[in-house]
Amino acid sequence: MANNILVVGELEGGAPSATTLELLGGAQGLAAGGSVSVSLLGTGATAAAGQAAGAAKAYVSDDAAYDTFRGEQWLAAVQAAVTQSGANVVLIGQSVVGRELGPRLAARLGTAAAMDCVSVADAGGALQFTRPAYGGNALATYTIATSPAVATVRAKSFEPASGGGAGETVALPGAGESRVAVLGSEKAQSTGLQIQDAAVVVSGGRGLGAPEGFQQMEALAAAIGTDKAAVGASRAAVDLGWYPPSQQVGLTGKVVNPDLYIAVAISGASQHMAGCSGSKVIVAINRDKDANIFGFAKYGIVGDWKAVVPALIEELKKLK
């Protein structure tokens, strides 16, 4: 079935974000003869439309008031883009924007949203939206009978779009009122590489026993390469105050899909695995041979991390 798809884009440094390009890639595959359009809001939106590969049309507003996300302002603009594009499917990233916009947009359009999807598939009839549920223990597949179907989609669920940018732009109105005022923001101090972008993620858990354990995790990441590896943490470790919330991996933290995920003294609860089970290779270091993490790992070392991690650091240094 042909689908007219609107991707709610997000800008990053004046260009469509990586997730936006992935959603456009997914939309290309699902359109089946229908149209693909994108909405872009904020400074540089019109220029960024030229880089929105896969979209035929871009609904844009360069109003700088959109640079900070405020739900009410974005809702009005995106709702206009949905109506004008005649979309029967709306795709949004599972981000600060998507988490708020997905349900609210669906409510205003009299339809429903499927949140945090890991796949959107065309099985002949209505599109099928699949998402993790029950802390990652299960997957649930939904259809949406009302139109448009709204879905928020996890990063890296689709391959990025190829081809040229949007050939046509349509102006959206500038930002209206917002009852929610943003008073200020604070960036978490993260040194360099973000865990979502790292090729290798070294994560520590409660079994590290003390915050100092994370110095060893940082040393392990450094031995792999500061340009390649970043340090994550389980929620238990974050809740204990051992590492910042911005580094939490899991259901209520970040979702990472690195080439290599090294889980140190982490038991492998479903809610943790929900954030890293898409990693290409998982290595687990745990002293309990029955720990759940070994059910997900390709390689495991059963032992005390205090002995294994320093040995690993020495071995990795030899590679340089």
Partner 1 sequence: MHIVVCAKQIPDPETPPAAFKIDAATNKVIPAAGIAPVLSQFDGIAAEAALRIKEAKGGKVTVISLGAESAQAAIKQVLAMGADEGVLLKDAAFDDGDSYTTARALAAAIKKLGDVDAVFCGRQAADWDMGQVGLLVAEELGWPVAIIAKGVEATDSGLKIQRVLADGFETVEMPLPAVVTVSNEFGDPRYPKLPQIMAAAKKTVTPWAAADLGLDAGSVGKAGARLQLQKLFIPEKSSKVELIAGDTPQEQAAALVAKLVADKTL
Q: Which residues bind ligand FAD (CB under 6 A)?
A: 135, 205-207, 234-237, 248-253, 265-267, 269, 271-272, 275, 286-288, 291, 304-306
Binding residue for partner 1 (CB under 8 A) from 61, 116, 160, 218? 116
- CB of 120 or CB of 233, closer to ligand FAD: 233
Q: Is 235 in the site for partner 1 (CB under 8 A)?
A: yes
Contacts of 319 (CB under 8 A, 6+ apart): none
Q: How far is the CB of 309 from ligand FAD (least distance, A)?
A: 9
294 binds, among ligand FAD, partner 1, none (CB under 5 to 8 A by kind): partner 1
Q: How far is the CB of 215 from partner 1 (least distance, A)?
A: 18
228-267 b/e (C-beta count within 10 Å ≥ 16 → b) = ebbbbbbbbbbeeebbeebbbbbbebbbbbbebbbbbbbb
Check if the beta carbon of residue 243 is closer than 8 Å to that of residue 211. yes
Q: Is 312 in the site for partner 1 (CB under 8 A)?
A: yes
State how far the Cα of 12 lies from the Cα of 226, in Å rounded to an integer. 23
State how far the Cα of 32 lies from the Cα of 269, in Å rounded to an integer. 39
CA atoms within 13 A of residue 67's CA, in its CB half-sphere: 10
Check if the beta carbon of residue 57 is closer than 8 Å to that of residue 5. no
- CB of 25 or CB of 232, closer to ligand FAD: 232
Q: Is 303 in the site for partner 1 (CB under 8 A)?
A: yes
**Torsions phi, psi for 200 (to 5 deg):** -130, 135
As a whole number of Å, the CA-based R_g of the chain is 21
234 binds, among ligand FAD, partner 1, none (CB under 5 to 8 A by kind): ligand FAD
Tokens of 49: 């439309």
Q: Is 139 in the site for partner 1 (CB under 8 A)?
A: yes
Check if the beta carbon of residue 262 is closer than 8 Å to that of residue 202. yes
- CB of 166 or CB of 224, closer to partner 1: 224
Residues 151-180 that bind partner 1 (CB under 8 A): 179-180
Check if the beta carbon of residue 115 is closer than 8 Å to that of residue 131. yes
- CB of 166 or CB of 195, closer to partner 1: 195
- CB of 23 or CB of 260, closer to partner 1: 260
154 binds, among ligand FAD, partner 1, none (CB under 5 to 8 A by kind): none
Tokens of 140: 């649930």
Q: How far is the CB of 30 from partner 1 (least distance, A)?
A: 17
DSSP-based three-state secondary structure for 107: helix
Q: Is 1 in the site for partner 1 (CB under 8 A)?
A: no
Using the contact rule CB under 8 A, the part of the chain among 14-22, 32-40, 51-59, 99-107 near partner 1 is 99-107
Using the contact rule CB under 8 A, the part of the chain among 25-33, 34-42, 55-63, 269-277 near partner 1 is 269-277
Paired with 117 in beta bridges are 153
- CB of 25 or CB of 300, closer to ligand FAD: 300
- CB of 178 or CB of 292, closer to ligand FAD: 292
Q: How far is the CB of 257 from ligand FAD (least distance, A)?
A: 15
State how far the Cα of 53 lies from the Cα of 55, in Å rounded to an integer. 6
